[in-house]
Structure 1
Amino acid sequence: MSLLTPPRTQPSSTLTGSRIEWIRLSSVALPLAVPVSDAKVFTGRQKPMTEVIFLFTELRTADGTEGIGFSYSKRAGGPGQFAHAREIAGELLGEDANDIQRLWTKLAWAGASVGRSGLATQAIASMDIALWDVKAKRANLPLAKLLGAHRDSVRCYNTSGGFLHTPLEQVLDNADATVANGIGGIKIKVGHPDAAVDLARVAAVHERLGGSVPLMVDANQQWDRTTATHMGRILEQYNLAWIEEPLDAYDAVGHADLAAALDTPIATGEMLASVAEHWELIRHKSADIIQPDAPRIGGITQFLKLAALADHAGLDLAPHFAMEIHLHLAAAYPREPWVEHFDWLEPLFNERLETRDGRMLVPDRPGLGITLTEQARAWTVATAEFGGPGRS
């Protein structure tokens, strides 16, 4: 269904058990143990990150099936996501939870004046992901199995141990611990205003890993085209798995030129907030590895559309952040993907994802396989409920 032509009639559910009866939105502020800095901080464009704001959607159908989904915002935008979700969430009441693509379109039209990207799609994402969680639970399947898994585990790499604020010796210790915990790759941040700092850190981590563990670097959009080409050529000696976000996220042509000039694969896409924006990367051949973020692009419904385009173009996949969601989506991608390991979200969920032999294992629990902790409830700063009765 095209967003350009709104539906004239809304199908009514004949499956009364799947009718959506209750929805709760929650804004949750997750504090980080230490302020986090990447290259955007060292170049003066942002302040250190101290918290992540999550938008959770919980919903229940008439047969008692409950689903959960989430979106998030770093540094700014959390209250805006919650406000927009609160405006449109009521559109789901009474609807058949099975009709996910139609409901995505309905929510997009409910907020059409704010567009189909950015904050608008991120608010919808939380609800869309909850609907997919419900669908998988009603089928008594892990989400990956519902989608059609190609594998039961996915290669994983760690990012949280290699931020620029972390002293080099600690980065090296973190890398050792990461490998010991069964995680298969190490990504460190680059993009420091002093290129010598970047090169020294990459050389030290590469030496510590001995070339036996995949190593990635992430410049967080802080290089210009000339610097990215220069640094990329120097870094080729380390046989990196990829260079991530070397240029501005929207510079499709620059990324394409860089990808053509370097042997090292180029990865990008995490900051884009729609399928249409990612299509610019695909059609320009801007990346070897595409890195969509389901909560940013509108949820699982939109991610699946993008994944089909990426696979058709022959791209590898390494979704950004939110491993609790992306593990399932990566497991269903035809080409061997990567998933990003972050332990930041662990206080929010009662369950843990298992890593072994460099891979993250798809859980056998139905749906996403996650439930909120009491600590997550304690960090909740705003809620809104629709329908009822609510949970006891």
Structure 2
Amino acid sequence: MNSTRPTPRTPRSASRTGGTDGPAADRIRWIRLSSVGLPLRTPVSDAKVLTGRQRPMTEVALLFAEIATEDGHEGVGFSYSKRAGGPGQFAHARELAPDLIGEDPSDIGRLWTKLVWSGASVGRSGLATQAVAAFDTALWDLKARRAGLPLAKLLGAHRDSVRCYNTSGGFLHTPVGELLENASASLEDGVGGIKIKVGHPDRKEDLRRLTAVREHLGDEVPVMADANQQWDRPTALRMGRAMEEFGLVWLEEPLDAYDASGHAALAATLDTPVATGEMLVSVAEHRELIRASAADVLQPDAPRIGGITQFLKLAGLAELEHLQLAPHFAMEIHLHLAAAYPHEPWVEHFDWLQPLFEERPSISGGRMHVPDRPGLGITLSEQARAWTREEYETGGRP
């Protein structure tokens, strides 16, 4: 593990004496970045593995940003990558971090733009903005902690809990018997819905698994199906029609993530709502989905599109079109963002990241409850520190 401690920068004099930033503005004094490898208990496979496009997933790479100010306020945020990309996010964030020292942490929108333009030569989406997302989330966490409010309350919550569904028990590598056991266990733990993966080479196997799930759970339990972009248009239409009988809450990513017109045609044809968006890496890409009426349910991922600042922009666009919202993964962040969305949303429950935090989400009655702790309500665990592969610090800790 490599830890670097550069000489602290001296904040601008305006930070304590007034000027354009206002009297006695607080300043960012210290930042720590951590590259964390989270091992998965079992290699995970979905349709992308069965089609040979990806290898089974064995870990999640996390980029954590911890920020502290001169006045002693702190915040933590994270981004992530599955399979490749984690070291690249860390390297990019390491280059950007010194640009935040001495800045007012309240100026989150301006700082997002500053960081993005610092690395604009490698693009303003994708890995570059995913690195920025860790800083952006930490700044929002800091702002809410300083206000003494959960982030959802700071943003303007519409509800204190959000419908939640489980995905981590329904991957394609899971035998049917175990899949049913996992579904029952999730419901017993208070989760409200069950999502299973589809996309087997033998499409009849998908229908057999869905039939088993529906017979096991009954007609009243919300069930979703996720094809992970692995069908072509004719297959998606045939499978979508065949799945109508299961009363799915949605059919997720039946086509390539960038096939907006194909998703739009399916959404116009099927009774089952079409969901997509998790693989897109900018607000602009999601805007194309919205323009094309390609999704009944939009599934943005805050770390993937650049953080909370960008997610809020996208949520505004989605609200204007009266779209359902079901943010992808990272429930520790998305719970708060979903609670602040006007139309009743869903949050995806994964237990993968729980060892990284001291706290656990409160789930009951099919809903995940917004914590009453300030900010995101998370604290990095000793296990997260133990899984840290590389660290970088800049500035001087208060």
Q: TM-score range by the shorter chain?
A: over 0.9
Between the aligned partners of 1:191 and 1:281, the Cα distance in structure 2 is: 22
User: Does structure 2 retain, via aligned residues, the 8 Å contact 1:161–1:175?
Assistant: yes
2:163 paired residue number:
155
State how 1:292-303 maps to structure 2 within 5 Å: 292-303=300-311
Q: Which whole-Å deviations, capped at 9, do the CAs of 1:259-290 have from their partners, x for residues lacking one?
A: 00100000000000000000010000000000
Q: Which whole-Å deviations, capped at 9, do the CAs of 1:102-126 have from their partners, x for residues lacking one?
A: 0000001100101111101100000
Q: Does 1:389 align with 2:397?
A: yes
Between the aligned partners of 1:15 and 1:139, the Cα distance in structure 2 is: 18
User: Does structure 2 retain, via aligned residues, the 8 Å contact 1:117–1:274?
Assistant: yes
Structure 2 length-normalised TM: 0.94
Between the aligned partners of 2:266 and 2:214, the Cα distance in structure 1 is: 23
After the TM superposition, list the runs of 4 or more consecutive aligned residues in structure 1 that deviate by more than 4 angstroms.
none
User: Does structure 1 retain, via aligned residues, the 8 Å contact 2:68–2:397?
Assistant: no
1:191 paired residue number:
199
Q: Does 1:145 align with 2:153?
A: yes
| Correspondence for 2:138 among 130, 133, 142 | 130
User: Share of identical aligned residues, percent?
Assistant: 72
Give the AA of the match of 1:77.
G
Between the aligned partners of 2:352 and 2:81, the Cα distance in structure 1 is: 14
1:260 paired residue number:
268
1:107 paired residue number:
115
SS in 2 for 1:18: coil
1:4 paired residue number:
none
| Correspondence for 1:75 among 76, 83, 108 | 83
**Structure 1 residue 16 displacement after superposition:** 3.9
Q: Which whole-Å deviations, capped at 9, do the CAs of 1:220-255 have from their partners, x for residues lacking one?
A: 000000000000000000110000000000000000
Task: List alignment gaps of at least 5 residues for structure 2.
Answer: 1-18
Q: Which whole-Å deviations, capped at 9, do the CAs of 1:324-359 have from their partners, x for residues lacking one?
A: 000000000000000000000010000000111000
Structure 1 length-normalised TM: 0.96
User: Does structure 2 retain, via aligned residues, the 8 Å contact 1:155–1:338?
Assistant: yes
SS in 2 for 1:249: coil
1:269 paired residue number:
277
2:51 paired residue number:
43
Q: CA RMSD in A?
A: 1.1
Give the AA of the match of 1:333.
Y
1:313 paired residue number:
321
Would the alpha carbon gap of residues 15 and 58 (structure 1) be closer, same or farther in structure 2, given more than 3 Å must change? Answer: farther
**Structure 1 residue 212 displacement after superposition:** 1.4
Q: Does 1:326 align with 2:344?
A: no
1:233 paired residue number:
241
Between the aligned partners of 1:199 and 1:12, the Cα distance in structure 2 is: 63
User: Does structure 2 retain, via aligned residues, the 8 Å contact 1:82–1:123?
Assistant: yes
Between the aligned partners of 1:203 and 1:15, the Cα distance in structure 2 is: 64
Corresponding residue pairs, total: 381
Between the aligned partners of 2:291 and 2:38, the Cα distance in structure 1 is: 37
Between the aligned partners of 2:265 and 2:88, the Cα distance in structure 1 is: 36
| Correspondence for 2:360 among 336, 348, 352 | 352
